[in-house]
Structure 1
Amino acid sequence: MSIMKGLKSKLAGLFDAVYRYPLTMLFLLAAATVNINMIHHETEKYVTYFLAFLIGALLSVTAQQVFERFFNKVSERMLLNGGTVLLTAGYFIAIRSAGDFNLELGTKTAVAVFALIMAFLWVPSIKSKVTFHDSFMAVFKAFLTTILFSAVIGMGLNAILMAVDELLFSLHYKIYSHVLNLIGTLFAPILFLSFIPPYPGKKDEAKTEDELANQTEEVEKAVHCPKILEVLISYIIIPLTALYTVILLVYVLLNIRGDFWSNNLMEPMLVSYAITVIVVYLLASSIQNKFSAFFRRVFPKVLLPIVLFQTIASVLKIGEMGLTHGRYYVIMFGVFALIAAVIFSFFSPGKNGWIAAVLLVFSAVSVIPPVDAFTTSRNNQTNLLKSTLEENNMFENGEVIPNGDISTEDKQRITKTVSYLDRMDYTKRIDWLPDNIFYNNQFKDTFGFEEVYVEPDGEKGSQYAHLDWEQSPVVNVEDYDRMLHLTIFDHEEKDSGKEIQFEVQGAEFTLVQGWEENDSVIRLINEQGNEFIQVQAKEVFDEILGDEKSSGGQGKELSVESATVTRENDQVRFDFLIQSVDRYNDQYYADMYVFIQVKEGAFVNGPHD
């Protein structure tokens, strides 16, 4: 009976969530329908619709939280829902008018999603007896429970479908994707919302004492930390965080005058550490024991100097490498973490909600021009490139003047800024830079030198190039006798002894791929074992990659002409068409085609000396 009672209670909770968030349900249903269409047609061209419905769903749940907290009239609820629909339509129009869904739109969408989740967490605690960490605990528990239930149901249904497909009758392979779509897009969000209690608000003014008591009991149950989670946080997560903190502090103290200010690997580690401390602090605020009290008292104060030093280091790196959108967000997060550490250190837990307000402000600043991350980084990188060119007398009257006789440091700076501008598709907005600047040697023609990237310590650098088939879809093969495909990895001698046999005008020939003096060697011999030509693979690859020892960053996009290397004598002609080649620490990996022309001299005069 208790099982049936619990099942009925959970089903009632699901129906209550649908009734409580009707507009959200419509957006989720629309998103699931779009997903069904994309799965059925195996296309992603409707992804903008899905993202718009996702934003609409998040806006609508936040609007419902605002309504429950501050309003009680039906007209006010309709007004909030109308505003949600308008904002969703505005987002959809904005991303559709922008053309391709690129990194900038994706990042701004992610920031909007994060901001809406933060608002959803914060609204119930605004001027309420429910604190921000109470709301955070309720959402954290709901999220974990939803993940567990959804995973179990998803695996169970897929197992049933597999059994039906194997034992009874065949099912279309897309049925599995459709089931996961319905679970992830419809069931999981509804289940999650069923765990969110009706927090105190203006709507409670008309409730009876019994109704208020029931509501209070429901809220306390939702924000209460279960014993197993309390043990996990207090006796596992907090000690591990403490140990990690000691390691970071020791590193900072030992390297405060050296590597700390230039070590890029520390940046993501310290950002992740700050996120961990903030999340654990919010969870620990709902726990009353010595471990959690110690963590709340000590760790925010430890976080202060660590985040301060890292933020200063990130700001200093701007002078060296300029400001990118990634560094913009790192610095912004550093400032936020500093504010959070101050709030956690010197204010009561009831003020924790201030960090949500700060995050919302920062999120808005980072996506609204002209101070958003992308406008700021584009202007900074463009100005850095222009000033570097002017310092080297390479920019005059709005045009770039090629000059290969400049310092390696300036070459690296020019390469890095141009790579960023090209990767973000900003070169189209700069009149004095060609589009597709890394294609077909345009970079060298523009600046007078090959790309030069900053080489990591202890490495000799890396390069790569690939054939752009979209811009060079045709290869003329009328003058050749045969075309062969080869891959070369010269780190080991595993390619040694590889042979490919073919026939031309009744004569048998063999292409031999061997290993000699730390290099792959390609030979052509006839059936008597006579050699007609020998080619060193590294010479071919160096001709494609160029002499500059660049490392990392943007690779070359090659046309058929620039990707072709010819080696010939009076008997044989080899044209190597390089589809892709990578060099890392003087090791090569290449995928290529070999076009072979056997000349008359090979049949008349015998092998070439």
Structure 2
Amino acid sequence: MNVVKSLREKLMGLIEAINRYPLTMFFLLATATVNMNMINNEVENYSKYLFAFVIGALLSIVAQQTFERFFTRISERIMLMGASVALTAGYFFAIRSASTFNMEMGTKTGVTIFALMMVFILVPSVKSVITFNQSFMSVFKAFFITVLFTAVISIGLSSILLAVDQLLFSLDYKAYEHVLNIVFSLFAPIFFLSFTPSYPGKRDASGIKGEQGLQMDQVAKAVDTPKLLGILISYIIIPLTAIYTVILLAYVVLNISGDFWTNNLLEPMLVSYAITVILVYILASNLENQFAVLFRKIFPKVLIPIVLFQTIASILRIGEMGITYGRYYVILFGIFAVIAGVIFSFFPIRKNGLIAAVLIVFSAISIIPPIDAFTISRENQMNLLKSTLSENGMLENGEIVPNADISTKDKKTITRTVSYLDSMDYIDGIDWLPDKVFHYGNFKNTFGFEETYDETDVGKNDNQSAYLDWERSPSLNIENYDRMVNLYVNGYQKTKDVGTVIPLKIDNKNYKLKNLVDEENIFLILVDESDQELIRFDAKKAFERIFDNQKELKGENLSVKEATVTEENDAVRMSIVTNNVDYYNSRYDADLYVFIQIK
């Protein structure tokens, strides 16, 4: 009977969530429909519609939370819902005007989603008996319960479909994707919202006491810290964080006058440490045991100097490296972490919601021109490039003058800034930079020297990998090419040798694609019927460029554009798209696609 009662309560909770968030339900149905079209039509790109509906769903949730907290009239609710629709439409038309859903638009969308989630957590605690810590705990619990249920249901339904496919009749492989689309697009968010209690609001001021008591019981249950979670935080997570902190402090103290200011690997480590301390502090704010109290007293004060030093180190690197959008966010987060440490150290626990307000403000700053991450980084990189060119007499009357006789440091700066501008699709807006600047020969013809990278790039680092993200780039554009060849490059040959030789027939003429490998070079060579060389593609140089692109992504896999390198001459245009490339023990190992066009 208890099981039946529990299931009935869960079902009633889902129905109540649907009734409570009708506009959200509309956007979720739209999201599921878009996903269905993406599954059925793999060639079409519906990402702009998908992200617009996701933003709309979050805006409508925030609107409902705001209504319940501060308003009572139906007309006010309709106005808030209308504002959500208007903002969603504004977002859609903003991204629709962009030619592609690029890194800039994707990052801004991600920051917007994060900010809306913060608003969702913050609103119930504004001028309320409910604290931000309690609201955060409610969302934290709901999230992990939703993940667990969603995973179990997904595995169960997939197993059922597999059994039907194997034992009864064949199913289209897309059936699995359609079922999971329903689970993730509809069930998961609605199930999550069913755990969101109706927090005390303006409408409850004149309510019936019995109903208010029932409501507060539901709220208390939602924000309560489970005993097991309390034990996990107090006796496992906090001690582990303490040990990690001692190690970081020891490193900072021992290297404060040396490596600390130049060690790029430490930067993500300290950012992750700051995130961990902030999350643990908020979760521990609902606990009153000795470990939790001690953590709240000591760790925010330790956080401040660590993050402050790292933020200063990141700012100092701007002079040499310039500002990229990634460094912008690292510095902005560092400032936020320092503010969070101050709030945790000198303000009462009830004021923890201030950090959410700061996060929301910082998120808005980072995506709204002219001080957003991308405008600042674009202008900074352009100015750094222009100043470097001007100092070397390479920019006259709006045109670049090639000059090979400049310092290696300036060559690296020019290569790095042009690479960043190219990766962010900013070159089209710069009149004095040529399009396709990294295509074969263009860079050297423009600046007078080959691309020059830091010593930590390929050739110095003995273990690197890069992979093409097929989920992000499910199709390849073969327009204007005559042939596509799948080729495996084995760089472990010890002597000079022509490896794979692939015969090709294009327009009734015979060609051969040769793979020439030795300890120093890797070339793809196309020859004609008389064995005359038409083009020699430097694959090693291409792999270096691809590894450089991989580093810019900071852990993400490559898109098709980032995995593509092109060389051409008067006779042939050849491009490679790298499926994966590994560099180990001074050797390359790569699986790639070669595209050939005879001019």
TM-score interval (norm. to shorter): 0.7 to 0.9
Instruction: Give the 5 Å matches for 1:209-608.
Output: 209-456=209-456, 459-460=459-460, 473-474=481-482, 487-492=488-493, 545=541, 552-553=548-549, 557-561=565-569, 579=576, 587-589=587-589
Cα distance, 1:593 vs. partner?
Answer: 8.4
Cα distance, 1:203 vs. partner?
Answer: 1.2
Cα distance, 1:493 vs. partner?
Answer: 5.0
The whole-number CA distance in structure 2 between the counterparts of 1:76 and 1:493 is 76
Contact 1:495 1:514 in 2 (8 A): yes
The one-character-per-residue Cα deviations of 1:173-216 (angstroms, maximum 9, x if unpaired) are 11111111101010011110010111111010231111111111
Cα distance, 1:562 vs. partner?
Answer: 8.2
The whole-number CA distance in structure 2 between the counterparts of 1:207 and 1:592 is 69
The whole-number CA distance in structure 2 between the counterparts of 1:80 and 1:592 is 52
Structure-2 residue corresponding to 1:205: 205
Cα gap change, 1:433/1:540 in structure 2, threshold over 3 Å: closer, same or farther?
closer
Which of the two has higher C-alpha Rg? 1
The whole-number CA distance in structure 2 between the counterparts of 1:20 and 1:555 is 46
Which residue identity lines up with residue 281 of structure 2 in the other structure?
A: Y
The whole-number CA distance in structure 2 between the counterparts of 1:416 and 1:500 is 36
The whole-number CA distance in structure 1 between the counterparts of 2:162 and 2:203 is 49
Percent identical residues: 57
Contact 2:459 2:586 in 1 (8 A): no
Q: Secondary structure at the match of 2:350?
A: helix
Cα gap change, 1:593/1:213 in structure 2, threshold over 3 Å: closer, same or farther?
closer
Q: Secondary structure at the match of 2:388?
A: helix
The whole-number CA distance in structure 2 between the counterparts of 1:316 and 1:372 is 20
Structure-2 residue corresponding to 1:40: 40
The one-character-per-residue Cα deviations of 1:278-309 (angstroms, maximum 9, x if unpaired) are 11111111112111111111111110011000
Structure-2 residue corresponding to 1:121: 121
The whole-number CA distance in structure 1 between the counterparts of 2:458 and 2:518 is 27
Contact 1:471 1:559 in 2 (8 A): no
Cα gap change, 1:232/1:75 in structure 2, threshold over 3 Å: closer, same or farther?
same
TM-score by length of 2: 0.85
Which residue identity lines up with residue 293 of structure 1 in the other structure?
A: V
Contact 1:496 1:514 in 2 (8 A): yes
The one-character-per-residue Cα deviations of 1:244-282 (angstroms, maximum 9, x if unpaired) are 111111111111111111111111111111111111111
The whole-number CA distance in structure 1 between the counterparts of 2:502 and 2:331 is 60
The whole-number CA distance in structure 1 between the counterparts of 2:319 and 2:586 is 32
Structure-2 residue corresponding to 1:170: 170
Cα distance, 1:558 vs. partner?
Answer: 2.6
Which residue identity lines up with residue 559 of structure 1 in the other structure?
A: E
Cα distance, 1:490 vs. partner?
Answer: 3.0
Which residue identity lines up with residue 16 of structure 1 in the other structure?
A: E
The whole-number CA distance in structure 2 between the counterparts of 1:298 and 1:145 is 31
Structure-2 residue corresponding to 1:607: none
The whole-number CA distance in structure 1 between the counterparts of 2:45 and 2:500 is 45
Which residue identity lines up with residue 398 of structure 2 in the other structure?
A: G
Which segment is superposed worse, 95-104 or 586-595? 586-595
Contact 1:332 1:362 in 2 (8 A): yes
The whole-number CA distance in structure 2 between the counterparts of 1:521 and 1:431 is 34
The whole-number CA distance in structure 1 between the counterparts of 2:62 and 2:502 is 69
The whole-number CA distance in structure 2 between the counterparts of 1:543 and 1:226 is 57
The whole-number CA distance in structure 2 between the counterparts of 1:22 and 1:157 is 27
Instruction: Give the 5 Å matches for 1:28-67.
Output: 28-67=28-67
Cα distance, 1:46 vs. partner?
Answer: 1.4
Cα gap change, 1:143/1:516 in structure 2, threshold over 3 Å: closer, same or farther?
closer
Contact 2:48 2:96 in 1 (8 A): yes
List gaps (5 residues or longer) in structure 2. Answer: 469-475, 504-511, 525-529, 550-561
The whole-number CA distance in structure 2 between the counterparts of 1:148 and 1:90 is 35
Cα distance, 1:344 vs. partner?
Answer: 0.4
Contact 1:238 1:291 in 2 (8 A): yes
Which segment is superposed worse, 554-563 or 89-98? 554-563
Q: Secondary structure at the match of 2:565?
A: strand
Contact 1:485 1:593 in 2 (8 A): yes
Contact 2:576 2:595 in 1 (8 A): no
Contact 1:125 1:135 in 2 (8 A): yes
Instruction: Give the 5 Å matches for 1:71-82.
Output: 71-82=71-82
Structure-2 residue corresponding to 1:529: none
Which residue identity lines up with residue 490 of structure 1 in the other structure?
A: G
The whole-number CA distance in structure 2 between the counterparts of 1:110 and 1:512 is 44
The whole-number CA distance in structure 1 between the counterparts of 2:132 and 2:477 is 54
Cα gap change, 1:544/1:305 in structure 2, threshold over 3 Å: closer, same or farther?
closer
Which residue identity lines up with residue 189 of structure 1 in the other structure?
A: P
Contact 1:60 1:84 in 2 (8 A): yes
Cα gap change, 1:303/1:521 in structure 2, threshold over 3 Å: closer, same or farther?
closer
Cα gap change, 1:16/1:487 in structure 2, threshold over 3 Å: closer, same or farther?
closer
The one-character-per-residue Cα deviations of 1:52-81 (angstroms, maximum 9, x if unpaired) are 110010001101111111101111101100
The whole-number CA distance in structure 1 between the counterparts of 2:185 and 2:276 is 28
Cα distance, 1:399 vs. partner?
Answer: 1.1
Which segment is superposed worse, 36-45 or 52-61? 36-45
RMSD value, Cα: 3.6
Contact 1:452 1:550 in 2 (8 A): no
Contact 2:23 2:60 in 1 (8 A): yes
Q: Secondary structure at the match of 1:559?
A: strand
The whole-number CA distance in structure 2 between the counterparts of 1:385 and 1:520 is 31
Structure-2 residue corresponding to 1:105: 105
The whole-number CA distance in structure 2 between the counterparts of 1:24 and 1:92 is 17
Structure-2 residue corresponding to 1:527: none
Which residue identity lines up with residue 552 of structure 1 in the other structure?
A: D
Contact 2:523 2:536 in 1 (8 A): no
Contact 1:563 1:579 in 2 (8 A): no
Cα gap change, 1:358/1:488 in structure 2, threshold over 3 Å: closer, same or farther?
closer
The whole-number CA distance in structure 1 between the counterparts of 2:571 and 2:460 is 24
The whole-number CA distance in structure 1 between the counterparts of 2:227 and 2:300 is 25
Q: Secondary structure at the match of 2:101?
A: coil
Cα distance, 1:9 vs. partner?
Answer: 1.1
Cα gap change, 1:37/1:579 in structure 2, threshold over 3 Å: closer, same or farther?
closer
Structure-2 residue corresponding to 1:479: none
The whole-number CA distance in structure 2 between the counterparts of 1:211 and 1:284 is 31
The whole-number CA distance in structure 1 between the counterparts of 2:75 and 2:243 is 54
The whole-number CA distance in structure 2 between the counterparts of 1:96 and 1:316 is 37
TM-score by length of 1: 0.83
Which segment is superposed worse, 556-565 or 136-145? 556-565
Which segment is superposed worse, 338-347 or 489-498? 489-498
The whole-number CA distance in structure 1 between the counterparts of 2:178 and 2:477 is 35
The whole-number CA distance in structure 2 between the counterparts of 1:16 and 1:409 is 63
